[in-house]
Each structure stands twice: as structure tokens, then as C-alpha cells.
Amino acid sequence: MAKSSFPEKFLWGGAIAANQIEGAWNEDGKGMSIADLFSYDPESDTSQLHVSNMTKAQVLEALHDDQKYYPKRHGIDFYHSYPQDLKYLKEMGFKTFRLSINWARIFPKGDELQPNEAGLAFYDRLLDEVIANGMEPIVTMLHYEIPVNITLNYGGFHNRHVIDLFVQYGKTLLERFGEKVKYWIVINQINLFQIEPFNSTGICIDQVENMQEALYQAIHNQMVASAQIVKAARKLNKQLKIGTMLADLTAYPENSAPENNVLALQHNRMSYYMTDVQFRGKYPGYILRYFAEKQYTITQTEADEELLAEYTMDFLAISYYFSQMVSTEKNGADRFAASPNPYLKANPWGWAIDPKGLYHCISHYWDRYEKPIMIAENGLGMYDKLENETVKDDYRIDYLRKHIQQLEECVKDGVDVFAYCAWGPIDLVSASSQEMEKRYGFVYVDYDNFGKGTGKRYKKESFDWYKKVIATNGAKI
């Protein structure tokens, strides 16, 4: 029998986000979160990543609209179906399940003095069920679920007062669930604020004069809030592990031309600066210079500096789907643009498939920080065809197999990687395109993009494959 290279207690599993799966958008006192504002638009071109912004008027319009379909208000009804859905994951042998808690279920407007007990009670039941099914829960405190009131009345994370409101929420979670949950990710993909400015920070494009400056301030505020949550966790229980998370956006240079290599370095640093702060305890010079040259004023108090220096994060969570490429010829000096890589094929949404990129990025983060790493998300979004009550998703097996092989290479190099979570182990609503039909799961859920269908669950062929991967601790892939 093939021998496994993975550590004995390696956490194999999957990840979901409350807003993409739970539905029950107005039950048990839940408030509106910003994820509930996105309608499905069959006309929209989802073949590329678009910057998602909203104006205040658009927020108000979505709040009062009863014409369009808002997929994240319905998800796959996991709020009610979780006991049955978790059974599928148990059958695959999941050792871990990453979920997010929806801020708007706990503090419906984000600024109440007391939490909503019905919301807390739901997550008590859910976490108990996760544990009873043999899975270690990993909880994300914020996965694009900012209460809409925080946007409308505070202007999102740009406002320093939101630090206190978020920390109050975070402490409530640690106190209530700290006995059940050891691993916490404070903010999903803290670096994605250039692609998802509204989702990430809750700032409407017309609420501030200089959106870019406001975004960097918002991220500063999120990092300060994260440090305060680390401080609270250490006081509460030294066993708790608090992590930060990057969506890996690493770009390769187009070729060996020095200017392309420097552009790739600059591009990548626009993500790394946050983990540099959160692991090394201070802002690196290259980003301070960037702020100065752009004339951005980021308010940072002495107390912030002390917090960031003292309360650094315990682990790094990474989501990895694709890699990127940059070239001065195609992208000019733009530190955020990227171009298609001619060496790689992409899925129908233009996400380039690059298993070696996973090896590349994990190795880089390990070399840079030497902090434990969790793969918090990885997977292939595809249109699946249900035939004879199953889906022949060999393309998904191929994608996951090649990525797990690269993960194994990292383990062999001695990287401390302790978990692998496949994204969306049961089909759920897409974060970027609002489609149900961009599917990632091992379990097919019979809903279309308008939420029509029976909602029945079917095992795809990848189901048995992943079960075997887990049963052999990654030896049989």
C-alpha cells in the first residue's frame, strides 16, 4: 500500500460560507448582510473577475426590491438541511469543516448592545452537529457578511468606530464558542479588497471622496480589530488559534525581462503587505512609500502600532484557485492588473488552472513567515451535468488530484501545513457571479441560478474519490 506523506492528524475537509449556503435570510431575527444585496443577473458577463462596487442608492434599491432574485438570501437552505448535509461529509470521512458565522445573525444591525440569542443558538446547534459528526470546526468570523446597517450608517470599515463593533462581535463568538472551536480565521481573504471592495469593507463607492485611500484605511482598521481579537483570545484561552487569510493572487512575470520581474514583485507585495503587518508586526517600508507617493493618509495611532506589534497571528489560511501573470507591455505599471498566461488553460470563468502555482505560493509563504499554513479553500468551479442521478466530474477529480499532489510536495519539503479544505463540498451559490450553476461540490444540489429545482442532493463521482483520499490520508489520490 502506498505510504502517506501527510501528518497523521492532517485535517482533510471542506469549507463553506454562511451567506452562500444557509438561506433563511430573514429568520430568527437575522438582519440583512451585504451579501443579501446581490441579485442574479443572467445578462452579466462572468467570464472575468470584475471589481464589485455598490452605491448607497443601489444598496437601498436592493433592500426594497421585490422583483429580482437574490440567490444568497436562499442558498441551499442549509439553515434547515444541515443535519442531512453534514451526513454526506461524514460519509466522506471529513476531519474538518470550515464554516463562517454570519455577523448579521448575531448582531442584526452590527451595533446592538446585546447579541441575538436565536442566532447564537443556531450556531450552537450547528457546531454541535459538526463535532458529533467527527469534524473539527474551523470558523471564519467575517466572510462578506457585514450587516447592511454598518454600511448605511457607519460607512463600513473605513470608520474607526466599526473596529469596536466588530471586536464586540468577535469577543462574543470567542466567549460563546471558544470551548467548541479551536481554529478561528478572523477575516476571509483580507487582501481581496481591490477586487471585492464593497464585500470586503462595506464601503459604498459614493460614501467617500477617495475610495482607494478609504480602502487602505479600512484594511488598517481590520488589522487592528484582528489584533484586538488575538489579544482577547489569548486572555480567554491559550489553546485558541487565530489566523489571518489571503486569497493567493501571486502573479508570475511574463518572462525574464527585469521590468516584468519587478512588476510581479510589486503586484505580489500588494497582498503580502497585510501578512507582513500581521506576522511581522509592522508596516513594511514598500507600502508606506506607496501610500506616500499616492498621497494617501492612513490614520494609525500609537496604540494601533503597539497592538499590531504585540498581537500577531498564529497561522496563515490560504485560498488558492488560480495563478496570474503580469507584463509591463500588457499591464503597464498597474500593480493590480493581470493578463492570461499562455501556458495555462482556464475554466469557463477564466480562472487559470495551475497546480504548480499552489506549490509555488505555499513555499513562498512558508519561506517568508514560517507560520503554520491551512489551505482554507481550493477547488474547481464548473457547469456540471446531472445524468442517471450522478455527475461524471472527472475534470474536478483531475484538478483536485493535481493540487493535492503539489500540497504533498510542500509537506515533503517540511512545510507545516495542517489542513486542506476543498471549497464548497456541497454545491452552493457562487460568491463572485451569484450563480448556483458554478458548482464546486462533491454533492450536487438540484437548484438552478434562479433557485428553481427540487433541492435534492446527489453524490458526484468525485464523492467516492475524495472519500478514498481521506481514508488513505492522501496516499491514494
Interface residues toward ligand BG6, by CB under 6 A: 17, 20, 188-189, 247, 319, 377, 381, 423, 430-433, 438
The C-alpha cell that represents 52 in the structure block: 464589485
C-beta closer to ligand BG6: residue 78 or 311: 78
CB-closest chain residue to ligand BG6: 432
Q: What is the pairing mode between strands 136-142 and 183-187?
A: parallel
Amino acid 408 reads E
The C-alpha cell that represents 397 in the structure block: 477529480
Residue found by looking up cell 444541515 in the block: 82
Q: Give min distance, CB of 435 to ligand BG6, in A.
A: 8
Under 8 Å between Cβ of 282 and 308: yes
**Which of 381, 395, 397 has the alpha carbon at shortest distance from 435?**
381
C-beta closer to ligand BG6: residue 110 or 441: 441
Eight-class DSSP state of 40: P
Q: What SS3 state is found at 176?
A: helix
Angle 13-71-86 from CA coordinates, rounded to 5°: 25
C-beta closer to ligand BG6: residue 6 or 322: 322
Q: Give min distance, CB of 283 to ligand BG6, in A.
A: 25
C-beta closer to ligand BG6: residue 41 or 91: 41
C-beta closer to ligand BG6: residue 438 or 457: 438
Phi then psi for 253, rounded to 5 degrees? Answer: -75, 150
Amino acid 119 reads G
Q: Give min distance, CB of 430 to ligand BG6, in A.
A: 4
C-beta closer to ligand BG6: residue 188 or 250: 188
The C-alpha cell that represents 223 in the structure block: 488589522
How many residues in the chain?
A: 477
Under 8 Å between Cβ of 352 and 344: yes
Amino acid 230 reads V
Q: What is the pairing mode between strands 11-15 and 241-247?
A: unpaired
Q: How many CA atoms lie within 13 A of 30 on its CB side?
A: 27
Distance CA 226, CA 314 (A): 11
**Which of 107, 106, 104, 78 has the alpha carbon at shortest distance from 14?**
78
Distance CA 471, CA 269 (A): 38
**Which of 375, 376, 392 has the alpha carbon at shortest distance from 384?**
392
The alpha carbon torsion through 208, 212, 216, 219 (nearest 10 deg) reads 70
Distance CA 99, CA 376 (A): 10
Q: Give min distance, CB of 318 to ligand BG6, in A.
A: 11
What is the H or E stretch that residue 308 is in? helix 302-310
C-beta closer to ligand BG6: residue 248 or 276: 248
Amino acid 314 reads D
C-beta closer to ligand BG6: residue 188 or 201: 188
Q: Give min distance, CB of 145 to ligand BG6, in A.
A: 10
C-beta closer to ligand BG6: residue 140 or 327: 140
C-beta closer to ligand BG6: residue 149 or 319: 319
Distance CA 59, CA 148 (A): 8
Q: Give min distance, CB of 247 to ligand BG6, in A.
A: 5
Q: Give min distance, CB of 15 to ligand BG6, in A.
A: 8
Residue 274 burial (CB < 10 Å; 0-12/13-18/19+)? Answer: buried
Q: Give min distance, CB of 443 to ligand BG6, in A.
A: 16
Q: Give min distance, CB of 199 to ligand BG6, in A.
A: 9
Query: For the chain, how big is the Rg over CA atoms in Å?
Result: 21
Q: Give min distance, CB of 1 to ligand BG6, in A.
A: 34
Q: Give min distance, CB of 377 to ligand BG6, in A.
A: 5
Q: Give min distance, CB of 201 to ligand BG6, in A.
A: 15
